[in-house]
Chains A and B, each alone.
Chain A
Amino acid sequence: MKKKKSDFRPNSLWTLPSAGLLLFLTVIPLIMLLVFSFMNRNLFAGQPWPGWTLKNITRMFHSAPYWKLMAKSLGIASIVTLICIAAAYPASWAIAKIVKPKNRSMFMMIVILPFFTSQLLLIYSMMNLIKTGGVLLTAMDAIGIHGMTTWLYTNKATVLILVYEYLPYMILCLYSSLEGIGDNIIQASLILGASKTKTFTNIVFPMSLPGLLSGILLVFVPVAGSFMEPGLVGGAGGSMVGSMIDTQYSTSLNMGYGAALSCALLIILSVIMALVRYFAARAERAIGGEPS
């Protein structure tokens, strides 16, 4: 594959269409997002170019609601990620290690099947399940648990729906890591006298770190940036930082301010993700596990 020494090979030109798309639809828009954070007016076709301003940035730093929602979104994203890990770890372990090998892929197909339906329809079905007079509350009433009120239109509902949406990703990531751990390694560790806890902390956990890490990235980032879920099920006090950014575009039409807010979100998320990776790499080295 990489036999020739020359740096350029004509076949690499086949990447040009994709490279062009990435340049024009990802890199340039991101630069525009940054540039627009310093614009004082909205931009529409045919209108003169807006002027420069620092107003959006100062407004953002002085906006108490923005930072409050930012903290709340990061908090919700952490909670959702932790719940997903707590639920997905044992479940993935069961599928990867306990279920009969010939049934494993079937179970994984069952796990990802909801992904093949529509995300919005999943949200809708969960909303219908938990709403007042819905199946869940009616069933609870029937078995004698009375006086339950619905979670719908509270922050709890937002967390529930987000867990529901992103749990399959976490299971998938953890499963692919856990499946790669040989049973013989675990057996060896136990036979050589390591306790179950020690086998977990020294063998299983380090070896599952790559999957755990991609799971965290796949869940935390989109959850922190979500705006549709809180808008649908979060009720009046359910806004997240994404909702505030959305307002700048769909209601109050304040593109520059919205751009500044999204830039800040993007920067904060990148920093968090870099930290997660850094600590995961350090933990891996400290425990002495090898990346699978």
Chain B
Amino acid sequence: MTSKGFRRAMLACMWIVLAFMYIPIIAIIFMSFNKTQYGGFPYVFTTKWYTTLFTTSNLLPAAMFSLRFAFLVTIVAVVVGTLCAYGMQYYTPKFAKRFNTILQLPIIIPWMVTAISLLLLFSFIGVGRSYVSMFLGNLIVVLPYVVLLVNGRFVDMDRTPESAAALLGASPGRVFMDVTLPAIAPGMLAGGIMALIMCFNNFVIQYYLIPVGENTLPTLVFTRIRSEYQADLNALSAIIVLIAVVVVILLSKLGFSAGSLMGMGGGNKKEGN
């Protein structure tokens, strides 16, 4: 397993996989500077699609809306999810196991089924498609990830400093704020990032629950891909890729590994989904 040929073959496979993942992305950045309306050749350099994106395009407002919406969902998910992970530490093991099963339902069930069942629920109570429905739908989809990531920190951490602080006279609130919170902060951050990205991207839930005629970025991109090629979409893709690169570099500088961000490895207890 350690012969030179074998290692070379494995490395070649890795590079092929990386090329497969990145060629479309590089191509789209390349085409975002192409003048032809429908992305054909010959290639003529231009930056006019970026100008379009920042002036007349409806993509940018949708992107900004999606971003604000994702932040709102994330904040609520992190607060509620952290409290949940904290409370879970005080469950009996048997009850914790049962709770975990229910907690993982939104992860296991295909998003489409979740979205449809929520649409039924909201139609039933008379709300139907609305921003509130969409908010709750996205919240329930990301909440388990936050809980699992924060719970992973609790499982890994040493709980004795909390008892020590309480013994030395700190109020329960103070213990939580000064001792517990700093220890679980990396888990909260990872959960928050996960929630933010999932909300920003979640097409399926938004497609079924958004008010008729309104658009988030994913639903707008979906509609526009179906209608025709639009060059400002290339420009937006290029910008989003750039932002992603910056975010990923920042996160790795902060000491996050890929596994800890996606909720795998480390102290994570997400056994086989």
Q: Output the nearest chain B residue to A270 by Cβ-Cβ distance.
A: B108
Least Cβ–Cβ distance between B98 and chain A, in angstroms: 11
Contact A7 B92 (CB under 8 A): yes
Partner of B10, one of A12, A93, A169, A255: A93
Q: Output the nearest chain B residue to A88 by Cβ-Cβ distance.
A: B17
Contact B123 A33 (CB under 8 A): no
Contact A108 B257 (CB under 8 A): yes
Least Cβ–Cβ distance between B85 and chain A, in angstroms: 8
Partner of A232, one of B16, B204, B226: B226
Supply 20 further A-B pairs (C-beta < 8 A) apart from A17-B84, A265-B113: A1-B89, A12-B90, A18-B81, A90-B13, A90-B14, A91-B13, A91-B18, A105-B257, A115-B262, A116-B197, A116-B247, A118-B200, A121-B233, A129-B24, A129-B27, A134-B27, A136-B27, A179-B265, A218-B273, A259-B120
Is the C-beta of B91 less than 8 angstroms from some C-beta in chain A?
yes
In B195-230, the 8 Å CB interface with A consists of 197, 200-201, 203-204, 207-208, 217-218, 221-222, 225-226, 229
Contact A33 B120 (CB under 8 A): yes
Contact B30 A176 (CB under 8 A): no
9 A-B pairs with C-beta separation under 8 A? A2-B93, A18-B103, A118-B201, A124-B237, A125-B27, A128-B24, A128-B39, A135-B31, A221-B108
In A106-126, the 8 Å CB interface with B consists of 106-126
Interface string of B235-251 (1 = CB under 8 A from A): 01100110011011001
Contact B112 A262 (CB under 8 A): yes
Residues of A within 8 A of B109 (CB): 26, 30, 266
Residues of B within 8 A of A120 (CB): 201, 203, 218, 221-222, 225
How big is chain A's contact interface, by range? 35 or more
Interface string of A1-42 (1 = CB under 8 A from B): 110000101111111111101101111111011001000000
Is the C-beta of A171 less than 8 angstroms from some C-beta in chain B?
yes
Q: Output the nearest chain B residue to A248 by Cβ-Cβ distance.
A: B116
Partner of A121, one of B128, B139, B159, B221: B221
Q: Output the nearest chain B residue to A132 by Cβ-Cβ distance.
A: B40
A33 CA to B174 CA, complexed, in Å: 44
Residues of B within 8 A of A121 (CB): 28, 221, 233, 236-237, 240
Chain B CB within 10 Å — which of A22, A111, A265 has the most? A22
Residues of A within 8 A of B241 (CB): 117
In the complex with contacts A13-B87, A265-B113, A118-B221 CB distance below 8 A: yes
Contact A199 B1 (CB under 8 A): yes
Is the C-beta of A258 less than 8 angstroms from some C-beta in chain B?
yes
Residues of B within 8 A of A126 (CB): 24
In the complex with contacts A120-B222, A199-B1, A26-B10 CB distance below 8 A: no
Is the C-beta of B69 less than 8 angstroms from some C-beta in chain A?
no
Is the C-beta of B99 less than 8 angstroms from some C-beta in chain A?
yes
Least Cβ–Cβ distance between B105 and chain A, in angstroms: 5
Contact A122 B24 (CB under 8 A): yes
Is the C-beta of A138 less than 8 angstroms from some C-beta in chain B?
yes
Contact A245 B112 (CB under 8 A): yes
How big is chain B's contact interface, by range? 35 or more
Is the C-beta of B252 less than 8 angstroms from some C-beta in chain A?
yes
Contact A135 B200 (CB under 8 A): no
Residues of A within 8 A of B6 (CB): 196
Interface string of A187-231 (1 = CB under 8 A from B): 000100000100110001000001001100110011011111001
Binding site for B on A (CB under 8 A): 1-2, 7, 9-19, 21-22, 24-30, 32-33, 36, 43-46, 87-88, 90-91, 93-95, 97-99, 105-129, 133-136, 138, 164, 167-169, 171-173, 175-176, 179, 186, 190, 196, 199-200, 204, 210, 213-214, 217-218, 221-222, 224-228, 231-232, 242, 245-246, 249, 255, 258-259, 262, 265-266, 269, 273, 277
Q: Output the nearest chain A residue to B92 by Cβ-Cβ distance.
A: A7
Residues of B within 8 A of A118 (CB): 200-201, 217-218, 221, 237, 240
Contact A14 B258 (CB under 8 A): no
Contact A259 B116 (CB under 8 A): yes
A123 CA to B28 CA, complexed, in Å: 11
Contact A43 B124 (CB under 8 A): yes
Least Cβ–Cβ distance between A182 and chain B, in angstroms: 13
Residues of B within 8 A of A226 (CB): 112
Contact B259 A175 (CB under 8 A): yes
Question: Lowest 7 A-B CB distances belong to which pairs?
Answer: A225-B110, A14-B87, A45-B126, A108-B258, A29-B117, A18-B84, A15-B87
Is the C-beta of B88 less than 8 angstroms from some C-beta in chain A?
yes
Is the C-beta of B190 less than 8 angstroms from some C-beta in chain A?
no
A1 CA to B125 CA, complexed, in Å: 41
Contact A45 B147 (CB under 8 A): no
Contact B110 A214 (CB under 8 A): no
Contact B264 A173 (CB under 8 A): yes
Least Cβ–Cβ distance between A289 and chain B, in angstroms: 15
Contact B21 A255 (CB under 8 A): no
Contact A168 B21 (CB under 8 A): yes
Residues of A within 8 A of B92 (CB): 2, 7
